Amino acid sequence: MPDSTIPFDQLPPGVKDGIFGQCSSIACKSAKDKMSDLRLKISAACTKKSAAQGVRDAYAAVAAACFVAAAAFAAAGAVATATIFGIPAAAVLFVAAAAMAATGAVFAGLAAGWQAAVGEASGQVESFQKTFSEVVKDMRRDCSEYCYADESLPSC
């Protein structure tokens, strides 16, 4: 195997031809194509994960706002019961508080559902990254060090 410190242009022609032949071999091209394919799959899974996190966070924010509004309506209803004239207003405020709490619960459920999607996408990313590490080993076995592709593990 040629020393990796020697620039490719300074290698003897026979060595260059041997390296070129190994770089253009079916096994080497196949390993590099698998790496390229996995990079795209990891990128797509990262995008899917990021999108699911965004939707989950939006639903969670709406749920939190609904619960805060429900608490405010309930507190206002409690204050309104201080006088006999405020009792009808308190009833309306307690109904509004219940409606906001129910709406918050619906959005919290939606956020929980999207959390499952985030977990699934995270699992896909991890699986692809593990496979990528295996394909790097194949590429190192089947290709000369002069024709290695980018070996860095893609991350989100």
- What is residue 156's predicted lDDT score, i.e. its pLDDT? 83
- 36 assigned to some structural domain: no
- What is residue 28's predicted lDDT score, i.e. its pLDDT? 87
- What is residue 127's predicted lDDT score, i.e. its pLDDT? 94
- 67 assigned to some structural domain: yes
Alpha helices in the chain (DSSP H): 13-23, 26-80, 87-142
- 16 assigned to some structural domain: no
Cβ neighbours of residue 70 closer than 8 Å, sequence gap 6 or more: 97, 98, 100, 101, 104
- 127 assigned to some structural domain: yes
Residue 6: strand, helix, or coil: coil
- 97 assigned to some structural domain: yes
Q: Look at the chain and count its residues.
A: 156
Number of structural domains (the chain) is: 1
Q: Residue written as tokens 């893609």?
A: 154
The Cα–Cα gap between 133 and 75 comes to 57
Give me the average pLDDT of each 10-residue run along the chain (156 residues): 58 62 81 91 94 97 98 94 87 96 97 96 93 90 80 83
- 154 assigned to some structural domain: no
Cβ neighbours of residue 73 closer than 8 Å, sequence gap 6 or more: 93, 94, 96, 97, 100
The burial class, CB within 10 Å (0-12 / 13-18 / 19+), for 81 is middle
- What is residue 39's predicted lDDT score, i.e. its pLDDT? 92
Q: Which domain holds residue 111?
A: 56-148
- 26 assigned to some structural domain: no
Residue-by-residue DSSP string for 100-131: HHHHHHHHHHHHHHHHHHHHHHHHHHHHHHHH
CB 45 within 8 A of CB 128: yes
- What is residue 15's predicted lDDT score, i.e. its pLDDT? 63
- 40 assigned to some structural domain: no
